[in-house]
Amino acid sequence: MAGDPVKILLIEHPRDFKPERCNDIANTPLSSCLVSGYAAGMLQSRGHEVEIVEGYLEKLQYSDILAIAVSFRPDIVGVHMVYQWGRDIKLSGFLLSMKDSGLCRHITAYGFYPTVAFRSVLNNFSALDSIVLGEPENPFAELAETVSSGKSVAGIAGVAVRSGDGEVLYNRPDVPQNPDTLPFPVRTEALYRLNEVNLLGSRGCYGSCTFCYINKYYGGAQRWRGRGPENITGEINEIIAETGKREFYFTDPNFFGPGRHGQERALRLASLLKPLKIKFGIEGRVNDIHDKTIEALVDAGLRNILIGLESGRNESLRRMNKMTTVEQNEQALRTLRKHGIEPNVGFIMFEPDSSLEDVRTNFEFLKRNNLLNNLPVTANVLYHHQIILEGTQAYSELAGGGRLNLLNDTGYEGSAYFKAGSVSCLSGIMRRITNHLFQKMDGVWSGRVIAPPDSGRLYEDVNNLLVRTFDDALCGLEAEGTFSAVQEDEIVERTNRQISEMLAVRIKKQE
């Protein structure tokens, strides 16, 4: 180590609830939940003293976090900066107070959002001294040693800083090619209180979907890097010994990895997981859903999976560069159901270049494959438009074509101007209706409220109302081409009133 050990405070910052975005699950990958833990693991392995503050999970106020910082007296503060839906005045003010008080020597940010939007983040958060880009383990460790020695952090691979004249300087990060060499992540008590223990079994993705910035974050020529099955089960055994927990979720965006090697690795992992008697969930691409492998994983404890179907029309899949087909989507569904797994699905009903024909084909695909029978799934797939985030191919192409509408002044998130006005109309209607439903059901779906004993029939009725409303609106647009603003409002207000009436007094608060 070049310098003396330092004290590092890693902050998971508080985040405000945004009702209009309560179902935008794609703003940051699930794997981001372990970013602080992996950074802490590496920093601790280098001899530094690290504390993680779970501001979000613990529902802390910034005054609470400040009190922790005053007690800990960190040399470095790192903020795992999760997506910003606008300028986060509270976070900015908190960091400025830390800077002005001289409480720490260096403030940095890390995570998916600041990696893809590092220039605007440095411009909008004047208290930041740097940003750690991409996988944080190695650059954060080097940053800590450099700060300890009193040298400038400019020039560190994977660290972005401002120059004297305000320009942003950075070098590309060095990508850890073998994830097995990294220390296991540090997990807090708050993380262990979640229903499942999150695991990261691999990094990156071999795909290149236009709507995804996974590879922008991970970088490197080798897009997908898997941990060895023995390394993964070693971590699981440690967790079982420490906590007794046996329910896990692999947060990898691509559990399997490419080709035959990916299938062989999954089979080997299944053979090692089976004796552990655990339950687990995964995420994967439809072309990796093979009968033999799924059978082995289910036998080893696989209980749920998220697969990215995205569309029921091959033309749409090609536009999104999914490198999959509708046939593969349907085969994956058949294979999973054969082995007793009803998957969660990723689906983009409304993409920027959608036509009404595309939307109709998607709707018929969902009906044909029995994907409109469960209220949370139905509400998701019948509204989901393509989320446009900085760092994606779609963002660049839409911006270049003058079709990107930035949703806030950070420049990070945008929406697309649809090519077809009729698609824009239907998307807006369904977004307003499903947002109303998400808010009404938030208590139940978050587990804070107990659903009534007869909720099954109730949710079936609401589900059928959503499907009928979508179908009626789609048929109307196919016949008329567009709706007036008054017609749109009437559809939304009538449906939302029916939803409210159906759910009224049927859900009681938990004692």
Look at residues 320, 346, 372 and tell me which one is the last residue of a structural domain. Answer: 346
Does residue 171 register a pLDDT over 80?
A: yes
The tens digit of pLDDT for each residue in 160-170 reads 999 888 789 99
- pLDDT tier at 83 (50, 70, 90 boundaries)? confident
Q: Check whether residue 213 and residue 158 sit in a common domain.
A: no
- Please check the confidence at residue 19 and state whether its pLDDT lies above 80: no
Angle at 149 between CA 143 and CA 151, to 5 degrees: 70
Q: Mean pLDDT lowest for which of 34-48, 228-242, 373-387?
A: 373-387
* Inter-CA distances, 343 with 6, 53, 61, 249, 336, Å: 45, 34, 37, 14, 7
Say yes or no to pLDDT of 27 above 60.
yes
Task: Tell me, yes or no, whether 273 and 302 share the same domain.
Answer: yes
Nearest alpha carbon to residue 432 among 373, 365, 390, 483: 483
Same domain, 365 and 315: no
Q: How many CB atoms lie within 10 A of CB 418?
A: 22
Task: Write phi, then psi, for 101 (nearest 5 degrees).
Answer: -80, -10
If you average pLDDT over each of 219-233, 408-422, 480-494, which comes out highest? Answer: 480-494
From CA 178, how far away is CA 226, in angstroms rounded? 8
Convert 152-187 to b/e letters by CB count within 10 Å (16 or more is b): ebbebebbbbbeeeeeeebeebbbbeebeebebbbb
Count of beta carbons in the 10 Å neighbourhood of residue 4 = 11
CATH number, domain of 45, equals 3.40.50.2300
Write down the pLDDT at residue 21.
57
Task: Identify whether 139 is part of a domain.
Answer: yes
- Shared-domain flag, residues 334 and 354: no
| Same domain membership, residue 404 and residue 474 | yes
Q: How far apart are the first and last CA of the chain?
A: 54
Q: Do residues 387 and 483 share a domain?
A: yes
Which amino acid, one-letter code, is at 328? Q
Residue 204 lies in a domain: yes
Confirm whether 2 is domain-assigned.
Answer: no
Asked whether residue 330 falls in the same domain as residue 479, the answer is no
Tell me the CATH number at 224.
Answer: 3.20.20.70
Cα dist. 214→4, 77, 205, 340 in Å? Answer: 35, 25, 7, 30
pLDDT in tens, 124-145: 999 999 999 999 999 999 999 9
Please indicate, yes or no, whether residues 340 and 369 belong to a single structural domain of this protein: no
Last residue of a domain, one of 315, 346, 377: 346
The pLDDT, as a whole number, for residue 26 is 58
In a domain, 475, yes or no: yes
Say if 185 falls within a structural domain: no
Give the model's pLDDT for residue 23.
47
> What's the whole-number average pLDDT of the chain?
92
Residues 237 and 383 in one domain: no
> pTM value?
0.92
Least confident of 214-223, 275-284, 486-495: 214-223
> Is it the case that residue 509 has pLDDT exceeding 50?
no
Q: Is the pLDDT of residue 2 over 90?
A: no
Note the pLDDT of residue 510: 40
> Alpha-carbon distance 295 to 318, whole Å?
30
Query: Can you give the residue range of the structural domain that contains 300?
Result: 195-346
**Number of structural domains found in the chain:** 3
DSSP structure class, residue 501:
H
Residue 410 — pLDDT band, cuts 50, 70, 90? Answer: confident
> What is the three-state SS of 371-411?
CCCCHHHHHHHCCCECCEECCCHHHHHHHHCCCEEECCCCC
Report residue 22's pLDDT band, with 50, 70 and 90 as the boundaries.
low
- Answer yes or no: is pLDDT of 283 > 50: yes
Query: pLDDT tier at 115 (50, 70, 90 boundaries)?
Result: very high
Final residue belonging to a domain, choices 304, 329, 346: 346
Residue 251 located in a structural domain? yes
Decide if 190 is inside a domain: no
Residue 24 predicted with pLDDT over 60: no
Per-residue pLDDT averaged across 76-97, rounded?
A: 89
CA distance 464 to 478: 21
Q: 390 with 310, same domain? A: no
Task: Give the mean pLDDT of 475-492.
Answer: 96
Section 147-161 average pLDDT? 95
In a domain, 187, yes or no: no
Rounded Cα–Cα distance for residues 390 and 213 (Å): 8
Question: Average pLDDT for residues 444-451, to the nearest whole number?
Answer: 76
Count each helix (H run) and each strand (E run) in the chain, helices first: 19, 19
Max Cα–Cα distance, the chain, nearest Å: 73
Whether 212 and 276 share a structural domain: yes
- Give residue 87's pLDDT: 77
Task: Judge whether 3 and 145 are in contact, CB under 8 Å.
Answer: yes
Q: Following CA atoms 452, 453, 454, 456 in sequence, which dihedral angle do they give, to the nearest 10 degrees?
A: 90
321 and 337, same domain (yes or no)? yes
Least confident interval from 297-311, 379-393, 447-461, 473-487: 447-461
